[in-house]
Structure 1
C-alpha cells in the first residue's frame, strides 16, 4: 500500500500547504478514540519537504523490517542461529523504534474512524487500480505466475476494504459489529533466483513489497491505538490484516522476486543498505530538516543515521566471522 498511502499523505498536505510551506505535526495517537490532541507547542509545523523525507524513511524502515525478518529465517535454515537473532533484533529496531518515531512525527495515527478511512482508501486503490494493472502488465510480459499472484492479491484487498467499511460503520454508528480478522496463509520464502523475467514485473514486485511492508507496519500501529481506546475487536481486525499483508502477500511477492539469497549475500546487501542510510540518506534528510527549522525531525534523522552505522558494523563483523 505504500505508493497510495504516501500519495494520500502528500495530497492531504498539499491542501494544508496551499497558503504555507508548513503543516502541523500531530500526535501519534488520539486519547479515547476522539480527535487528536492539539500539537504541543514544541511540535511546531513540519515543512512539506521534511514530511516527504519522513515518508520515504518509513517506507524504507518497513521494508527493512520485512526483509530482515526473511533473512533471519534463511539464516536459521542455514544453521546460523546467531545471525538469525541479529537480523531479527535489527528488524525489531526498524519497526518498533525507528518507524514508530517517524510515525509520531508525521501524525500517522489518528482516531479509529480516521485510521479506518485511511485503510479503506489504500485497499480500494490496490484492489481497483494497482494490482489489476500489475496483473495485466505481467500477463503482457509473459510472467504468468506473477499475474496470477497480483490478481489474487487484488481480490484479497477488495475483501479487506469491505471488512474495513463494515468496521467503520460499527465504529461511527454503533450498528453492526467489527468483522472477524482474516487468516493469513503463511508463505515460505526460500533462497533462490527470481521467478519472473521482465524488468517491469520485477519493478512492480518491488513496489508491491514496499507497499505491503508499510501496510503491515501501519496496521499494527492502528491496532495498538484500537487497543488503547478500548476496541479489541478492531485491533484484531487490523492485526489479522497486517499478517495477511506481510506473511502472505509480501512473502509471495518476495518468493517470486528472489528477494532472499544465501546468508552471505543477504549480509552484504544489508551492509550496503545500512551504510547508505548512515552516510548519505539520513544525513541528507537531517541537513534539509535543519535548514527549514525542523529540529525534532533533524535529531531523529541524525539518531537514525548513527543507529544505521552501528547496524552496518554489526553485520560487517558477522560477515567477517563467516569467512
Structure 2
C-alpha cells in the first residue's frame, strides 16, 4: 500500500464509508483473481476493527490508483521494468489487499444494498463535501481547484440520480437501469502542485482517497451485479467507476502534483510501504488483538509482511536506477 501525506489519517468519513450488509457477498472484478470467501461474521467485528478495515480499503484503493499513474510515468520515461513493478504492485493492492479487507468488513451486499450505500456517498459528496471544498479553495485563491471541485460536485449529483433510478428498477421493476456516462479521461503527466493553500492540498488528498475507494467499490459492486445476472447494473457501476478514476481522481492528481519523476515516485512509495510495514498495520493488528478479532489480526499481519516486500522491491528498483 502507498501512503500520501495524511493518507491513513485523513479526517472525517470517506464519502463511501463501508457499510455492513446482512448477507455480504464479494465477487472479483473482471480480470482479477477471485477474492476470499466473504467473512460471514462481519457483524461480530468490533467497531474499531471495522473502522481500521475501512481505512485500509481507502489506502489500498489509493495505492492502486497512484501506482498505476506511476507506472504510466515510468513507461513514458522508458523505464519499462519499473513500470511493470508499479503495475504488478498496484494489482496486488487492489485484487488481494483491498478484496480481503472488503470480505472481512462485509462491504459488498445485495444489488439494492450496494446502490443504497452508493447513493448515500454520492449525496454527501454532491451536497456537502465538494461544495465545501470548492468554497474553501475559492476563498484561498486556488481557483482551478474550486472549478474542479464544483464540476465534480455536479457529476456526483448525476451519479446519485442514476443510482436512485437503478434502485427503483432493482427493487420494484419500474423503469430501467440508466446507461453510464462516458468518462472524460484526464492525462496525468509528472508535474508540481498547481495549488498553493495548505487547506486545498488537504482537501485534494481527502478527495483523491474518496475517488479511489469509489472506483474500487464500484468495480466490486459491478462484479456482484454480473454474478446475479444484472448486466445493465454492472455496466452502470463500471462506467461510473471509470469516471471516478480516470476523470475525477486524475484531475485531482494533476492539481496536487501526485506524479513526479520515477525516482521521486519510487522514494515516495518506499516511504509509504515502510510506514505501513512498521507502524500502520502492526497498530491495526494490535488493536484487533485487544478486542479478539483474530481474523482481522491475521489479515493485518500478512498485509504488513507484503508491504515489507513491496518496499524492498521498490528500493531495489531505485538502486538500479542510480
Distance in structure 2 (CA, Å) of the matches to 1:113 and 1:90: 32
CA contact (8 A) 1:193 1:257 kept: yes
Q: 1:27 to 1:172 in 2, by over 3 A?
A: closer
Q: 1:26 to 1:301 in 2, by over 3 A?
A: farther
CA contact (8 A) 1:28 1:110 kept: yes
Tell me which residue corresponds to 1:145. 144
Please list the CA deviations of residues 70-119 of structure 1 after superposition, one character each: whole Å capped at 9, or x if unmatched: 10010000110111111011001101110000000010001100100111
Q: 1:320 to 1:272 in 2, by over 3 A?
A: same
Correspondence for 1:28 among 25, 28, 31: 25
Distance in structure 2 (CA, Å) of the matches to 1:313 and 1:278: 11
Moved over 2 A (4+): 24-30, 37-41
Q: Please report how far the alpha carbon of residue 182 of structure 1 lies from its aligned counterpart in structure 2 after TM superposition.
A: 1.2
Matches within 5 A, 1:83-98: 83-98=82-97
Kindly report the root-mean-square deviation, in angstroms, between the aligned alpha carbons of the 2 structures.
2.0
Q: Please report how far the alpha carbon of residue 38 of structure 1 lies from its aligned counterpart in structure 2 after TM superposition.
A: 11
Distance in structure 2 (CA, Å) of the matches to 1:52 and 1:127: 23
Tell me which residue corresponds to 1:34. none
CA contact (8 A) 1:193 1:258 kept: yes
1:110 is paired with a residue whose SS is coil
Tell me which residue corresponds to 1:205. 204
Q: 1:2 to 1:249 in 2, by over 3 A?
A: farther
Tell me which residue corresponds to 1:110. 109
CA contact (8 A) 1:27 1:105 kept: no
Correspondence for 1:3 among 2, 14, 30: 14
TM-score if structure 2 supplies the norm length?
0.90
Segments of structure 2 that go 5 or more residues without pairing to the other structure are 1-11, 28-36
Distance in structure 1 (CA, Å) of the matches to 2:291 and 2:160: 38
Q: Please report how far the alpha carbon of residue 2 of structure 1 lies from its aligned counterpart in structure 2 after TM superposition.
A: 6.0
Q: 1:79 to 1:303 in 2, by over 3 A?
A: same
Q: Please report how far the alpha carbon of residue 52 of structure 1 lies from its aligned counterpart in structure 2 after TM superposition.
A: 1.2
Tell me which residue corresponds to 1:164. 163
TM-score if structure 1 supplies the norm length?
0.90
Tell me which residue corresponds to 1:77. 76
With a CA cutoff of 8 Å and minimum separation of 6, indicate the structure with the bigger relative contact order. 2
Matches within 5 A, 1:238-257: 238-257=237-256
Matches within 5 A, 1:268-283: 268-283=267-282
Tell me which residue corresponds to 1:231. 230
1:5 is paired with a residue whose SS is coil
Please list the CA deviations of residues 119-149 of structure 1 after superposition, one character each: whole Å capped at 9, or x if unmatched: 1111111111111111111111111111110
Question: Is 1:263 aligned to 2:273, yes or no?
Answer: no
Tell me which residue corresponds to 2:184. 185
Segments of structure 1 that go 5 or more residues without pairing to the other structure are 13-23, 31-36
Q: Please report how far the alpha carbon of residue 316 of structure 1 lies from its aligned counterpart in structure 2 after TM superposition.
A: 0.4
Distance in structure 2 (CA, Å) of the matches to 1:117 and 1:44: 18
Distance in structure 2 (CA, Å) of the matches to 1:272 and 1:281: 12
2:14 is paired with a residue whose SS is helix
Q: Please report how far the alpha carbon of residue 287 of structure 1 lies from its aligned counterpart in structure 2 after TM superposition.
A: 1.5
Aligned residues: 302
Distance in structure 1 (CA, Å) of the matches to 2:233 and 2:145: 32
